[in-house]
Amino acid sequence: MPIDPQIEAMFAGQPEWPPIRTQSIPDLRQAVRASATMLPPPPVTLASVHDRTIPGPAGAVPVRIYTPEGSGPFPVTCYFHGGGFVVGDLDTQDMIARGLAAGAETIVISVDYRLAPEHKFPAAPEDCWAAVQWAAANAASINGDASRLAVAGDSAGGVLANAMAIQAMEEGGPRLAAVINWYGPGVHPLPEGGSMAEFEHGPVLRADDVRYFHELYIERAEQDEDYRASAIKAKSHRGLPPHFIATAENDPARDAVEMYGPVLKDAGVEVEAKRYPGMIHGFMSWVGFLPGAQEAMADACNFLKRRFAAVGRAG
């Protein structure tokens, strides 16, 4: 499975990224932040971007609100960044949030949820759930339409987006229009073999990196049975909103992401699943310049717009 030539060119002559387990958490976070914030954002124009905090279960949760151009009221999408539940913040995936807001013509609320190992499971999904509830209750105050509410995320953020859809269903609302999941696994720990074996040594993300992030996040094995860690293990998936699931061809997590789609389809859930050839884990961060990432963004945005339109017609 050849890696996209543009990705290969990016890494040509660059020192190999060291295994995650060999780095201190502060150094890892600093390195990820430094590399991510150097990346160009997509060439889009937004009406406004502003930071604020919202109430959370353990104190204030920082969020960044992106508003597209136009008159509104706009659909609202809660977005959760990737980073193995250990790294990442409002800046590291700012480019994804910008592309989503402009492309889907939706307000995006990017959530700076608590990170492991300082805050282990279920701190992250608890913060994200607070954000979803806040969005539903306060959409009008940000020129949003609470009847058109979605969730989205990449990698760990995709796991969180999956979880929020299930939690909203189990708790009787808020009603979600769609779920966007860019390469977020449907089960933890990731099954060995398959793509975990095929891409044991990367590129970029290694199989042991995946295992280490899991060790830092999950304290007890029984927590992996919780749908907030493993969406596949929910008691029921019937009645969930439509899901868009994107995977990277060259990714140790690929199989664990793709196995969720058939489970959803068996429960009667609408699923659009697509594997992007030549891509590697984390490729959405290159949406500012990489055609494969731009395609995956456009596909997700088109999916969202269709779902928001369907909600509008039904309403």
- Is residue 147 among the annotated active site residues? no
DSSP state of 35: H
Identity of the amino acid at 171: E
- Residue 187 CA to residue 98 CA, distance in Å, equals 28
Give me 308's structure tokens. Answer: 């928001």
280, 258, 290: which is closest to 271 by C-alpha?
A: 258
CB atoms inside a 10 Å sphere around CB 143: 18
Q: Exposed/middle/buried for 105, CB within 10 Å: 0-12, 13-18, 19+?
A: middle
Q: DSSP H helical segments within 46-120, as ranges?
A: 94-104
- Asked whether the beta carbons of 301 and 272 are under 8 A apart, the reply is no
- Asked whether the beta carbons of 105 and 75 are under 8 A apart, the reply is yes
- Residue 138, helix vs strand vs coil: helix
CB atoms inside a 10 Å sphere around CB 21: 14
Annotated catalytic residue, options 110, 155, 195, 285: 155
Residue numbers annotated as active site:
155
